[in-house]
Structure 1
Amino acid sequence: MDADLEHAADPEDLSRLIVVRLNTGDVEGLVALYESDAVLALPEDGVANGSEEIRGTFERLLEGRPVFEPGSHRPTLRAGKLALTSTRLPDGTVTVEVARQQDDGTWLWVIDQPAFIPPNT
């Protein structure tokens, strides 16, 4: 992990960190929110598998420097080292993610079903 990046101490931190990194265009910081073999759902039933494909997805998403608004965090469900996180976006769309606690106590997403809606520009 990059020592300069803020890490998620709780699974709820991931939702905040992703918006910050999206809005700063920090592709590497975005990739760092996921386990190396994580799965990211894409529009039209596509899937990005692993860090390289997730990196490419965020590089394409951030072309043109869109601005993203935070949503309201929904209650997190925890089962041991797994957590189901969810955010209701300002347009009412809901995201769903599975995070896993790492050996160092931080949290990373393993599965991400985001809402790829056109962001504000």
Structure 2
Amino acid sequence: MTAQEKARTPEDLTRLFVERANAGDAAGIAALYEPEAVMAYPPGERTVGREAIRALWEQVLAHAPRFEQEDPFPTLVSGDIALTSTPARDGTGVRAQVVRRQPDGSWLRLLDQPESNPRAAERAQPAGTSRT
């Protein structure tokens, strides 16, 4: 791993992700994840492990997408675990991550749900059922 800036707060992870994505740095994005992290992407699938996450981002970044910072919801912290989330700027739902404090005090993503559209989930839900 290169000597890149580390996330000193859970909220730093989103900023660092946007900076690295816009720089086309798939390895830098992968460095924001724990070695065995799980990402719920592509939609309906899971990408498991830092190397698989790096490979996925190499494919995504090959299309040169642009990312913008999104205003976060308040972070929930319990000891060395935190939940971060942002409403998607395009109005498609919420992005959520479970992050963990590392022994050096930095934070890394453990679970990442980059796309979640509650309205689509409600539409896909069978009639006569409800979410609890």
Normalised TM-score (structure 2):
0.82
Pick 1 or 2: higher relative contact order, CA cutoff 8 A, min separation 6: 1
Unaligned runs of at least 5 residues, structure 1: 117-121
> What is residue 81 of structure 1 aligned with on the other side?
80
Q: Which amino acid aligns with 2:97?
A: E
Deviations 1:15-63 (A, max 9, x none): 1110111100011110000000000111331000001210111011111
Q: Which amino acid aligns with 1:2?
A: T
CA shift, 1:110, in A, is 0.2
The number of aligned residues is 115
For residue 30 of structure 1, give the secondary structure of its aligned residue in structure 2: helix
More strand by percentage? 1
Larger Rg: 2
Where do residues 48-63 of structure 1 align in structure 2 (5 Å cutoff)?
Answer: 48-63=47-62
> What is residue 115 of structure 1 aligned with on the other side?
115
- State the 4+ residue runs in structure 1 displaced beyond 4 angstroms: none
Percent pairwise identity = 48
The answer on whether the counterparts of 1:70 and 1:89 sit within 8 Å (CA) in structure 2 is no
Q: Which amino acid aligns with 2:67?
A: F
Where do residues 1-121 of structure 1 align in structure 2 (5 Å cutoff)?
Answer: 1-3=1-3, 5-92=4-91, 93-115=93-115
Unaligned runs of at least 5 residues, structure 2: 117-132
